[in-house]
């Protein structure tokens, strides 16, 4: 029911997740990332939010993506119904697609990139997302993620249609960019419009001056 991409900018270390689904409020459950730590996207027939709550602290301790994924899947009795994508702070990735998820389901791993989806029109959705992300090399990470999401939708996306979309990018300078379209007839396009509004200088300056782990006393 969901198609998702996690990406990392190897120059800045910025991490981001973009996702869309056929139900409401995908941003509340699927995307999780933290600069200098890693990213987790949790989805599937029955989304396990504990994958993020457990996974990010493990990544924060320096564990590799593959190790974190193995630990999370091993301790979950419902793992056959989950789909999980993990990226560590160095850009290494690992993915899990449980057999009980509905077709088409699958994931693709690469350095600084992982895409995953279930109840998709077909494997062409993930292929289109990967190609669009790679074709946008050199652009801002958020731009690359949005390009991938749009390509996935154009290739068929969620076979039921798409109702919500979200973008989460943490560049390690102030607050993360966290944009959500919880319900819309064209949520991927609406997310792009929301992103364009977020580029307003006053809003970006506001995000940059908020406290973060690197400067908890920033104001």
The residue with greater pLDDT, 174 or 89, is 89
160 pLDDT above the threshold of 90? no
- Angle at alpha carbon of residue 57, lines to 59 and 31, rounded to 5°: 80
What range does the domain containing 42 cover?
2-208
Task: Let me know if residue 219 belongs to a domain.
Answer: no
35 pLDDT above the threshold of 90? yes
Classified as helix, coil or strand, 21 is strand
Task: Let me know if residue 218 belongs to a domain.
Answer: no
Four-point Cα dihedral 98, 179, 198, 154, nearest 10 = 40
pLDDT value for 216? 87
- Please write the tens of the pLDDT for every residue from 194-204: 999 999 999 99
pLDDT value for 100? 97
Number of domains observed in the structure of the chain: 1
Kindly report the CATH number assigned to the domain that includes residue 123: 3.60.20.10
Task: Let me know if residue 203 belongs to a domain.
Answer: yes
- Rounded to an integer, the average pLDDT of 51-59 is 98
Phi/psi of residue 115, each to 5°? -120, 150
110 pLDDT above the threshold of 90? no
57 pLDDT above the threshold of 80? yes
Task: Let me know if residue 101 belongs to a domain.
Answer: yes
- Local structure of residue 28 (DSSP, 8 states): G
What average pLDDT is seen over the chain? 95
* Largest Cα span, the chain: 48
pLDDT value for 200? 93
pLDDT value for 212? 82
Task: Let me know if residue 180 belongs to a domain.
Answer: yes
101 pLDDT above the threshold of 80? yes
> Tokens representing 98?
């449980």
Nearest to 74 by CA among 96, 89, 44: 96
pLDDT value for 157? 82
Task: Let me know if residue 214 belongs to a domain.
Answer: no
Task: Let me know if residue 91 belongs to a domain.
Answer: yes
The pLDDT > 90 percentage for the chain reads 90
Task: Let me know if residue 130 belongs to a domain.
Answer: yes
Confidence of residue 161 (pLDDT cuts 50, 70, 90): confident
Establish whether the linkage from the previous residue to 104 is cis, with ω within 30° of 0.
yes
- Rounded to an integer, the average pLDDT of 135-140 is 95
Confidence of residue 215 (pLDDT cuts 50, 70, 90): confident
């Amino acid at each position: 029911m969901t198609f998702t991409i996690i990406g990392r900018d190897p120059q800045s270390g910025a991490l981001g997740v973009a996702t869309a689904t056929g139900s409401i409020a995908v941003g509340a459950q699927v995307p999780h990332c933290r600069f200098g730590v890693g990213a987790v996207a949790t989805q599937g027939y029955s989304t396990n939010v504990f994958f993020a709550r457990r996974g990010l602290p493990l990544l924060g301790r320096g564990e590799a993506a593959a190790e974190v994924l193995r630990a999370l899947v091993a301790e979950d009795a419902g793992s056959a119904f989950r789909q999980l994508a993990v990226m560590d702070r160095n850009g290494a990735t690992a993915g899990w697609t449980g057999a009980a998820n509905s077709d088409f389901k699958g994931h693709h791993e690469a350095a600084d990139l992982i895409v995953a989806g279930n109840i998709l029109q077909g494997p062409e959705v993930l292929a289109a997302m990967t190609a669009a992300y790679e074709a946008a090399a050199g652009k801002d990470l958020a731009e690359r993620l949005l390009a991938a999401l749009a390509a996935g939708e154009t290739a068929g996306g969620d076979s039921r249609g798409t109702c919500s979309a979200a973008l989460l990018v943490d560049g390690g300078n102030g607050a993360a960019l966290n944009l959500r379209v919880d319900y819309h007839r064209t949520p991927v396009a609406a997310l792009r419009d929301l992103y364009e509004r977020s580029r307003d200088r006053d809003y970006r300056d506001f995000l940059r001056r908020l406290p973060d782990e690197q400067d908890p006393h920033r104001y």
